[in-house]
Amino acid sequence: MTQRTMFWKITSILVIINLIGCTSLQSIDAPPNKLHEQIRHENIIRAGDKVNIITETQKEHKFVVTAINDDEIHGKDVTVPIDSIVSVQKHEFSSNKTIFTGIGTVMLIVAALPVIAVAALAL
């Protein structure tokens, strides 16, 4: 394996780790009645959001929201009545995580370069 190939493999792995660190699951904490009101009137959930919803029957629904109205949240092949929702979690982009993971990735790459160079010379 050449030094260049090893560098790109390590860089690819670190970039994947960086991308994973860009999102987080955010709970929307509120009692069910307040949660229903927030969903209907405060646009806390929008089309395109990736959500985990738990209903009063304790059934978990994981999907990307395709539409929402005053009564239901729709995803591909799933419809959840708003009045049955007891818990909502949204996947959200985290700029702080992205920045710090990016800085950490660059630092790892810079720190790994001398090790890769020595390993390549030893081969």
pLDDT at 122: 67
Asked whether 13 and 112 are in contact (CB, 8 A), the reply is no
pLDDT at 118: 72
pLDDT at 29: 81
| pLDDT of residue 99 exceeding 90 | no
> Per this entry, what is the length of the chain?
123
| pLDDT of residue 120 exceeding 70 | no
Cβ-count burial 19-31 (b if 16+ within 10 Å, e if not): eebeeeeeebeee
Assess whether 59 and 104 both reside in one domain: no
Torsion of CA 101, 102, 104, 109, to 10 degrees: 140
Assess whether 83 and 106 both reside in one domain: no
Assess whether 88 and 46 both reside in one domain: yes
Assess whether 72 and 119 both reside in one domain: no
* Number of domain units in the chain: 2
| pLDDT of residue 115 exceeding 80 | no
Q: Left (φ > 0), alpha (ψ -120 to 50) or beta: where does 104 sit?
A: alpha
When pLDDT is averaged across residues 89-104 and rounded to a whole number, the result is 71
Residue 69: pLDDT band by 50, 70, 90 thresholds?
A: very high
Tokens encoding 85: 């929702």
Q: Where is pLDDT greater, at 76 or 117?
A: 76
CATH number at residue 47: 2.30.30
Give the residue numbers spanning the domain of 77.
25-92
Residue-wise pLDDT for 71-91, tens only, equals 999 999 999 999 999 999 988
| pLDDT of residue 123 exceeding 70 | no
Assess whether 88 and 29 both reside in one domain: yes
| pLDDT of residue 55 exceeding 70 | yes
pLDDT at 9: 77
